[in-house]
Structure 1
Amino acid sequence: MVILVDESRIKEVGPDRACAEWLLRCGALVKWQDRESWTTDYNSLPASGGRSLKIEEIDATDAAVMHIGFPHFKGCKRIRRIVFHKSHYLEDAALAQLTLLQDSLQELQISSCGNVSADGLRHIKKLKNLEYLLLYDLPEIENKDSMMEELQAALPNCAVVFPYAQGKDDPSLKPQEGKD
């Protein structure tokens, strides 16, 4: 499902509410600032007070987020954490647009996203406020060590973690006896 940015909707409900609508329609979860619970369903969005709600965290596990919707992030000033796990439509063009969140994004996970290449990850170097970056199971990344070093050099205040996602990649990970 392709959901284009609707500027009139953003004017009507504000950038965070419009962004949340897009994310929820794509199957992501949204956590609002100063709220403990996650919003998991589009129909459970608050009917009023939308402009006062600010997105703080996004869990896009198994979500169908695509670059065409990433302009929804424009105007969202408080998004500090995003998880892209098994986001099969996530690709380099989407990562290029994460700079829309460069002032607020502190934690980012990109894992099991088969369309993300080294070129896409290089866009992350512009996210100077990142404090934690977790990357794993990215089959298009041929040299994980080199990529991790490149990102760490560009983001000295960020803990860049890129463990080997498959045991065959890391000789220290051996299968336990009795398990396949």
Structure 2
Amino acid sequence: MSAVINDLPEDLLLKIFSYLLTKDLCIAGGVCKKWRRVTNDNSLWRHVDLSPYRLNLQKVWKIIRAHLSECLLSIRLRGFMDSGTKRKSQSVSNAMLDDIRDRCPNVEELHLYYVNISSFDARKLPSTLHTLKLDSCSWQPRWIKSGNPSLPNLRSLSVSHCVRVDNFDVEEFCQYSNLEELNLCGCYRVKDSGLQKVAQNLSHLTHLDIAVTSISDLSVHHISRNLKDLKHLCLRRCSAITNGALATLVSSLKKLQYLDIFECSSIDADGLRALHKLESLRTLLCGPKIPSTVLEELQNDLPLCNITCITGNRQLLFDGAAEHE
């Protein structure tokens, strides 16, 4: 069988290898000279995903030097912050980011998970980035301000579950005035004053995730007043959000298509009824506190909206008068 596979033309092997994970691609390159030649094709290294693996700095360097080039568009790396005894191990450094900037002048996306960002300076980030995700990373307060990175093309920023991010950090994010997507999910230190800065300075936002933050109806007021192009809003587990917030966003956010109010414990059936005027809404996520009769009424008023009620580990999708698990 191996002989048959090895007899395939290189263009067909290239197509097959395009379905491999990065680790498997590296393994395939060690099979024979022909496979090494094919696996080194730059088209296979446009999007490099190393996030399923915890790799130390030495191993990441090896991959960068062997495979990364000007064809690279996105790279995902996983650190050691969730690995117990190896928490202090590094997977990113200033020198490594310098090398990526030199080798990969067209890189647009950098995704880092569980990385200690104090191991590198913000100013080392590639200026070509369109997307920067620093999810579940060990955050260094004032990290952006200390490095003041030039990111003129940045459109999407995520610091999801970077729990030390606070209002001062959020204010520093506002320098990237062209942002269209901002994810602050799990940043519980972020409060109304931080969201006020976001709403006033990031007017191009279309996607905003502020789940599990410490905001109130005041933040929704600022969002509704300033972010008229918003299409996606996640308020999940924001316990201080009330019925009044829904009435506010219905009157102002005419382009809103996605709304998540799951476990917003202060919102009840009366608040949800206000959404029947939000004709742009296509997806609504809510919790078991809302009676099914109210959801059915809302579904009748918004026939194009997928309404999902999350109950424990179950999700009930309402479709007209019916509901489905």
TM-score by length of 1: 0.65
**What displacement does 1:118 show?**
0.7
Match of 2:180 in 1: 106
- The answer to whether the Cα contact below 8 Å between 1:61 and 1:86 also exists between their aligned partners in 2 is yes
Listed as ranges, the gaps of 5+ residues in structure 2 are: 1-70, 79-90, 107-127, 238-261, 269-285, 289-309, 315-325
Does 1:154 find its partner at 2:242? no
Cα 1:51–1:75 shift into 2, 3 Å: farther
CA RMSD, Structure 1 to Structure 2 (Å): 3.2
Does 1:122 find its partner at 2:122? no
Match of 1:3 in 2: none
Cα 1:68–1:47 shift into 2, 3 Å: same
Provide the aligned length of Structure 1 versus Structure 2: 145
**What displacement does 1:47 show?**
2.3
Does 1:52 find its partner at 2:166? no
Match of 2:138 in 1: 64
> What SS does the aligned partner of 2:130 have?
strand
- The answer to whether the Cα contact below 8 Å between 2:182 and 2:209 also exists between their aligned partners in 1 is yes
> What SS does the aligned partner of 2:153 have?
coil
- The answer to whether the Cα contact below 8 Å between 1:56 and 1:81 also exists between their aligned partners in 2 is yes
**What displacement does 1:91 show?**
0.4
Distance 2:264 2:206 in 1: 29
Match of 1:80 in 2: 155
Distance 2:74 2:225 in 1: 35
**What displacement does 1:108 show?**
0.5
Identity of aligned residues (%): 10
2:172 alignment partner, one of 93, 97, 102: 97
Cα 1:168–1:101 shift into 2, 3 Å: closer
- The answer to whether the Cα contact below 8 Å between 1:66 and 1:94 also exists between their aligned partners in 2 is no
2:76 alignment partner, one of 38, 42, 58: 38
Distance 2:197 2:211 in 1: 17
Distance 1:52 1:123 in 2: 32
Alignment-mate amino acid for residue 110 of structure 1: L
1:135 alignment partner, one of 196, 202, 210: 210
Alignment-mate amino acid for residue 86 of structure 1: H
Match of 1:167 in 2: 263
Q: Deviations over 1:37-78 (max 9, x none)?
A: 325541664626168351221222111233421123442111
Distance 1:178 1:82 in 2: 29
RCO higher in structure (CA 8 A, sep ≥6): 1
Larger Rg: 2
> What SS does the aligned partner of 1:167 have?
coil
Listed as ranges, the gaps of 5+ residues in structure 1 are: 1-32
